[in-house]
Amino acid sequence: MTPSAFHIHITGIVQGVGFRPFVYTLADKHQLNGWVRNSANGVDIEIVGSKKALQAFIEELPISAPPLSQIDSIETREIKAQEFSDFRIVQSKNKATDFIPISPDIAICDQCHEELFDPQDRRYRYPFINCTNCGPRFTITKDIPYDRPKTTMASFELCPDCREEYENPLDRRFHAQPVACPVCGPQVWIEDNIGNSVGREDEAIQMARHLLAEGKILAIKGLGGFHLACDAANREAVAQLRDRKHRPAKPFALMAVDLETIRKFVTVSETAESLLKSPQTPIVLLPKKAEVHLTQQVAPGQSTLGFMLPYTPLHQLLLQHEQGYPEVLVMTSGNLSEEPILHENQAALEKLSHIADAFLLHNRPIHRRIDDSVFNVVDGKPYPSRRARGYAPNPIRVSQPLPQILAVGPQMKNTFCLTREKYAFLSHYIGEMENWETYQDFQKAVRDYERLFRIKPSAIAYDLHPDYTTTKYAMNRAEAEGLPTYAIQHHHAHLAAVMAENKVPPDQATAGLIFDGTGYGTDRTIWGGEVLIGSAEGFTRAYHLKPVPLPGGDASILKPARMALSTLWASGIPWKEHLAPVQALSNSELRVLNEQLEKKINTPMTSSMGRLFDSAAALIGIRESITYEAQAAIELEALADRNEMGYYPWEIDEQLIDVKAVLLGILADLSKNVASPVISARFHNTIAQISLQIAQKIRRDHDLDQIALSGGVWQNKMLLEKTLDLLRSEGFKPLIHKQLPPNDGCVAFGQAMIAAYKYTVNKE
């Protein structure tokens, strides 16, 4: 019998995930000879044996591939049979322009978890245990190919035991780059907040547990940066953390010892459970149970709590069931407000010493800081609100090949995006660009991604807003490098993002309800309650909220009371004295506000849906001033009566959505002493009904059934689910985000999609 032979090329995330040992084992199982190696864009295999065995091998490849791998394509071609005496893993072959996707950081796997708590194991209670299927990846990678010398593990020389595991193709730590043990790997220690080391290794972990149990605040170095932690059930500790961090109300993320513990506080759906337990272990926002034994202070005014499970061995050692120790920790980002999360020991010690009572540190450097990801569950499916750890830098796959484009993203909740082939490398969450440190971090991160993924932009996309830091960055680079630029309107980018995510061809006209906080419009006013019909080619503004003044700009964003009065003023509704927003402002504030509006002093016009939600919250008396973004809208949603079905009237006049009747309806309910939860629900229902009516008009006038939903307002789960129900009941096909957040975290991706399309068309 003459043997057959095949060359197989596999692309996707197939490096650093145990793919070669998997191929080795599979070849061994089917008694095939040949070799496997890492190569351009993936893995190459040459394999020789009987036809039957080869067929079985090829069939099994995609089915039993390792859990962290993601196969994009498998190309198989028959070649002339060669002589091989065995099967081998051979040296990688790379060209300078090749790029290889890098695996995101992955939560500790079940096998490592078992070893961690097995007294017989040589890594018993070792906080840096990991294997081919789990552990740090992106955060420790300095460059590609992903190999130990190019990670922050380079300085830890493998001990003989670790080396044996590392070099044995049949070991589950074969070529696990961060492999380490207590003999040769990183260590933890604990310091007080004046820099004295007070404990090492397991003793440090025990001390940290004691301090947390005593109500102390700890800075803990994790995977992508520092957390500030305290016992979530300890009222004083949580209050102190809020006080020291100058964070009066914004909810804290929580980490619980296990799923059963999480279930004590919140309702966990099947989707939520699989998200919580996934290798990405994001924070998941879950509906609070009526009776919660945690202090209200962890998430005041919220109907949800954000939980995650311990995702590193260190977290698992800190959180164990034991009488007298916390089972739930506050785990909030270790940063000063709006600054990037801290990830270096020295900087953390300097910046957090007035917040933390002690520091649990380690000496495995974090090369790249990355925040925890945050998900909601909407419509029974995962719905992101922050895409970072566990997801970045996995590219978003699109259907058409893309030129190399840099899209610099928006000003708030910044992410940027680089494209190449059929991949859009959307960066991890960068943050608020107003902040100088964040902007420095942005510049570094752009270069970092360009280098890692071997992308040299041939065009740059940016937001239409002339004053954005990102716009200036784009302008400077375009000039220095002689690149064409594309200015993209903010809500157009939202539309393009949700379209591309749903595989809508870029040139197919689609309707989008883009309900958002802020975005610079083509008429230089502030948009945000926009109904656009468009594609990557362009868009028309089909409908929008009737603009109202934003007196004093940001002053009115921070004070919903001002916004509510401005909204009333714009509709010619008088400010009656008993109204909550009137009560909330002093007489002189009211006088100044009135004068500002009458004389149009610093009153940019806005059609923002976010501001309408703020106005409603203030009018109902729920929130008159805020300390974090969207606080008023979040609290408005939190208290809404889920069973109320009523809604208010509105008018659509040509392109304008006029909500005067909605405001009058709310005022009438207030004067009848209708309960706030009912009024809030009616307001939500109204926006959902408006969405439906607009969809119907679009179907009539443009013959479109697909209605794309994007913009920060769609993080409102109640509004989104009601709108989806209404749209579906009338036969529409709503498109929502799945991989990217509806907020500005998706804007860079949308910018890239539009610019890539225009650039390609120009070239042809």
User: Shortest approach of Zn ion to residue 113 CB, angstroms?
Assistant: 8
Q: Can you read off the two tokens belonging to residue 142?
A: 């300095």
Closer Cβ to Zn ion, 13 or 605, answer by number: 13
Q: Which of 14, 47, 181, 504 touches Zn ion by CB under 5 A?
A: 181
With CB under 5 A as the contact rule, which of the stretches 174-182, 232-240, 306-314, 659-667 interacts with Zn ion?
A: 174-182
Minimum distance, C-beta of residue 711 to Fe ion, in the bound complex (Å): 5
Minimum distance between the CB of residue 763 and Zn ion, rounded to whole angstroms?
46
In terms of Cα–Cα distance, which of 54, 3, 389, 26 is closest to 225?
Answer: 389
To Fe ion, the closest distance from the beta carbon of 514 in angstroms equals 8
| Backbone φ and ψ of 411, nearest 5° | -85, -40
User: What is the distance of C-alpha 141 from the center of its chain?
Assistant: 20
Task: Among 8, 17, 116, 131, indicate the residue that binds Zn ion (CB under 5 A).
Answer: 131
Encoded one letter per residue, x for contact with Zn ion by CB under 5 A and - for no contact, window 96-115 reads -------------x--x---
Angstrom distance (rounded) from CA 246 to CA 188 = 29
* 184 is a site residue for Zn ion (CB under 5 A): yes
Alpha-carbon gap, residue 738 to 399, rounded angstroms: 16
One-letter amino acid of 713: V
Contact between 162 and Zn ion (CB under 5 A)? yes
Selected from 79, 81, 90, 183, the binder of Zn ion by CB under 5 A is 183
The least CB distance from residue 468 to Fe ion, in Å, is 12
Site for Zn ion in 599-618 (CB under 5 A): none
Q: Which stretch binds Zn ion (CB under 5 A): 132-140, 213-221, 484-492, 725-733?
A: 132-140
Nearer to Fe ion, 477 or 494 (CB): 494
Alpha carbons 511 and 494: distance in angstroms, whole number: 12
Residue 90 or 183 having the CB closest to Zn ion: 183
Residues forming the site for Fe ion (CB under 5 A): 516, 744
Residues 304-333 as x/- pattern, contact with Zn ion by CB under 5 A? ------------------------------
Pick the closer one to Zn ion by CB: 15 or 685: 15
Q: What's the Cα-to-Cα distance from 327 to each of 282, 285, 303, 319, 600, rounded to whole Å?
A: 18, 18, 21, 6, 55
Count of CB atoms within 10 A of residue 401's CB? Answer: 12
Q: Residue 684: which of 720, 733, 729 has the closest Cα?
A: 720
Among Zn ion, Fe ion, none, partner that 418 touches (CB below 5 to 8 angstroms by kind): none
Report how far residue 582's alpha carbon sits from residue 559's, in angstroms, rounded to the nearest whole number.
12
b/e burial code for range 654-680 (CB count within 10 A of at least 16 → b): eeebebbebbebbbebbeeebebbbbb
- For residues 104 and 519, which CB has a smaller minimum distance to Fe ion in the complex? 519
Q: Which of the listed partners (Fe ion, Zn ion, none) does 744 bind, with a CB threshold of 5 to 8 Å by partner kind? A: Fe ion
CB of 152 to Zn ion, least distance (A): 16
The answer to the question of residue 159 lying near Zn ion (CB under 5 A) is yes
748 binds, among Zn ion, Fe ion, none (CB under 5 to 8 A by kind): none
Annotate 186-235 with DSSP letters as a single string. Answer: --EEEEETTS-EEEEHHHHHHHHHHHHHTT--EEEE-SSSEEEEEETT-H
- Residue 327 interacts, among Fe ion, Zn ion, none and using kind-specific CB cut-offs from 5 to 8 Å, with none
Nearer to Fe ion, 357 or 516 (CB): 516
Label residues 193-220 b or e (16+ Cβ within 10 Å = b).
Answer: beeeeebeeeebbebbbebbeebbbbbb
CB-based contact 208:229 (threshold 8 Å):
no
Instruction: Determine which helix (DSSP H) or strand (DSSP E) holds 339, and give its type and residue range.
Output: none
Residue 630 makes contact with Zn ion by CB under 5 A: no
Residues near Zn ion (CB under 5 A) = 109, 112, 131, 133-134, 159, 162, 181, 183-184
